[in-house]
Structure 1
Amino acid sequence: MSHKHIFIFGAGYSGKAFADANSEAATILGTTRSPGKFEALREAGIAPLAFDGTLTAEIGEALRKTTHLVISVAPEEAGDPVLTAARKAILTDMPALEWIAYLSTVGVYGDHGGDWVDEAAECRPVSKRSTIRVTAEQQWLKLGDDISRPVAILRLSGIYGPGRNAFVNLENGTARRLVKPGQVFNRIHCDDIAGALWHLAGGNRGGIFNITDDLPAPPQDVVTYAASLMGVTPPPEIPFDGAELSPMARSFYGENKRVANAAIKATGYGFRFPDYRTAFDRMWADGNWRDGAARSPMTR
């Protein structure tokens, strides 16, 4: 197996989970906007670099050695900041590049009235941010065609894991049980984002993949289940229509769909946490739900 040199644009929550699952002793570099986050990236096994939308000489040098490129930076109205900064380098100055992954969102599907969607479903995004995502996906796929390299588009559901979950929200008093009849969401544990990335990178597989769990469920049920494990009373149910919500939060509830994940399974990937109950049971038993400090090692 050749040694992987992995570069992550936007090494945040998912990127750190990906590095935590590094069983190959691959070299991983990653960017952040804030030098104050450098130490946290080092602790996760990522050599940190600053990226504010401009390609530095240091980043350019790292890209020349990169075999696997992961993009986890949200596009902006003006365009995808990584494509804007790095497109020329990717086209002309990355001789070792084998594979590109772009982390997107199931928000690109928009609203399907609670019906099941797979990767062949029509993208009809509701929000501006999801519309921009559709464009960015298309641009990355085209760039892959231009350089004859596989591009994997990973469409992610709502991300959770240590430090980001209903246990934390219940503990800090921010958990709410909003009830909108018929509303469901899919979710994905950060370890399965990491697992899917390593799996796809291992075979240099391109294509579009929904990285999502098997159990689309009403959001209030997730809070209730976490409360039952904690042995606390869940917060009262709040009818959606009368709830005070930010415009962004309300926009999430404007999209209702059940997202299927057969495509990634067909490549041989098996989900570590196929539903939130399995994940919550494990996090609660391991005691790692607050910040991941007590995380069990990934399967290596």
Structure 2
Amino acid sequence: MKMLVFGHGYSAGYLTPLLRARGWDVTGTTRGDPDRVAACGATPLLWPGQEDEVRAAIPGADAILISAAPTEAGDPVLEAFRNELTRARLRWLGYLSTTGVYGDRQGGWVDEDSALDGSGPRGQARIRAEADWRALATAHGLPLHIFRLAGIYGPGRGPFQKVRDGTARRIIKPGQVFSRIHVEDIAQVLLASIDAPAPVGIYNVCDNDPAPPQDVIAHAAELLGLPVPPALPFDQAPMSPMARSFYGDSKRVRNDRIIRDLGVRLRYPDYRSGLAALLKAEGSGE
């Protein structure tokens, strides 16, 4: 079996070893880091740069994962390879989206049937990209599965280093809450879907415990035995426009569908178990 990944980044790096262990061949595109892709066990292709090789890989793929982000101009994979995709004979097609498509719910709950009300250019671009992929799938009978990912953390993307070096901040915005997902759980959700693809599926990918961001920082400090960083009001916090935009949305995301329909049992059902595992892995040198 062959998997082609457009945008072989952090999340795909954890799926690839699981597929390789089952005998899959994995090819992944990268803008400029083929060594990283190869280190995960995938065959790297530069894109942009090796368009002909990427086009040649599409007809032979049994599954395709789209991890490349859209721009305001549209989805780059559709822009470059739409014709080849319409002729693909796939058993599974996955698109990595984001829970940002739901927009701000002032801390309220959303599920996969909630209206899409993403705010800002990134949220709107994701909504358009999802719609474009659904239209292509409907027109050409492609087995599309959309995965709306919450905030991703994992090895190399935890809060511990910032707590250690004193740069971590507990930014307080009353009522603010985020959902999260450990990267290893993203990989097992994708694998479960590949193993038993529904005709069409949309899945929220998050853990069981939406929480305020300051609670995560405080728990990380406690695990390290270091002082909890002081609280800093949101309106006084120096932040980049990108970082500040994440605080524009506050919601709790339901994950019932990945558990009920895909049979997934999360390895890290909350940030406490996830952070404990990250710290243990750091100590063992994994």
Q: How does 1:88-99 map to 2 (within 5 A)?
A: 88-92=83-87, 94-95=88-89, 97-99=90-92
Indicate which of 17, 37, 47 corresponds to 2:43. 47
Q: How does 1:55-66 map to 2 (within 5 A)?
A: 56-66=51-61
How far apart are residue 247 of structure 1 and its match?
A: 1.6
Look up the match of 2:240: 246
Per-residue displacement from partner, 1:210-246 (whole Å, max 9, x unpaired)?
Answer: 0001111010110111111111112211011111222
Per-residue displacement from partner, 1:38-87 (whole Å, max 9, x unpaired)?
Answer: 111111111100012x7722111211110110000110111100010111
Unaligned 5+ segments in structure 1 are 295-300
Structure 1 CA distance, aligned partners of 2:55 and 2:223? 48
* Cα pair 1:209 1:261 within 8 Å, conserved: yes
Indicate which of 66, 69, 77 corresponds to 1:71. 66
Secondary structure of 1:287's match? helix
Unaligned 5+ segments in structure 2 are none
- Are the structure 2 counterparts of residues 171 and 70 from structure 1 closer, same or farther at C-alpha, using a change threshold of 3 Å? same
Look up the match of 2:228: 234
Look up the match of 1:298: none
Structure 2 CA distance, aligned partners of 1:184 and 1:46? 36
- Are the structure 2 counterparts of residues 17 and 152 from structure 1 closer, same or farther at C-alpha, using a change threshold of 3 Å? same
Aligned residue type for 1:233:
P
* Cα pair 1:55 1:86 within 8 Å, conserved: no
Per-residue displacement from partner, 1:96-120 (whole Å, max 9, x unpaired)?
Answer: x221100000000001111111011
Q: How many pairs align?
A: 283
Per-residue displacement from partner, 1:256-284 (whole Å, max 9, x unpaired)?
Answer: 11000011111111111111101111222
Q: How does 1:162-241 map to 2 (within 5 A)?
A: 162-205=155-198, 206-241=200-235
* Cα pair 1:16 1:41 within 8 Å, conserved: yes
* Cα pair 1:162 1:288 within 8 Å, conserved: no
How far apart are residue 179 of structure 1 and its match?
A: 0.6
Q: TM-score, normalised by structure 1?
A: 0.91
* Cα pair 1:210 1:260 within 8 Å, conserved: yes
Please report the RMSD computed on the Cα atoms of aligned residues, expressed in angstroms. Answer: 1.5
How far apart are residue 21 of structure 1 and its match?
A: 2.6
Deviates more, 1:121-130 or 1:54-63: 54-63
Look up the match of 1:297: none
Q: TM-score, normalised by structure 2?
A: 0.95
* Cα pair 1:55 1:85 within 8 Å, conserved: no
Deviates more, 1:193-202 or 1:54-63: 54-63
Structure 1 CA distance, aligned partners of 2:123 and 2:55? 29
Aligned residue type for 1:71:
I
- Are the structure 2 counterparts of residues 174 and 31 from structure 1 closer, same or farther at C-alpha, using a change threshold of 3 Å? farther
Deviates more, 1:15-24 or 1:151-160: 15-24
* Cα pair 2:27 2:45 within 8 Å, conserved: yes
Identity of aligned residues (%): 42
Aligned residue type for 1:227:
A
How far apart are residue 288 of structure 1 and its match?
A: 6.5
Secondary structure of 2:58's match? helix
- Are the structure 2 counterparts of residues 280 and 246 from structure 1 closer, same or farther at C-alpha, using a change threshold of 3 Å? same
Indicate which of 14, 17, 22 corresponds to 1:17. 14
Structure 1 CA distance, aligned partners of 2:164 and 2:4? 35
* Cα pair 1:184 1:217 within 8 Å, conserved: yes
Deviates more, 1:240-249 or 1:270-279: 240-249
Secondary structure of 1:270's match? coil
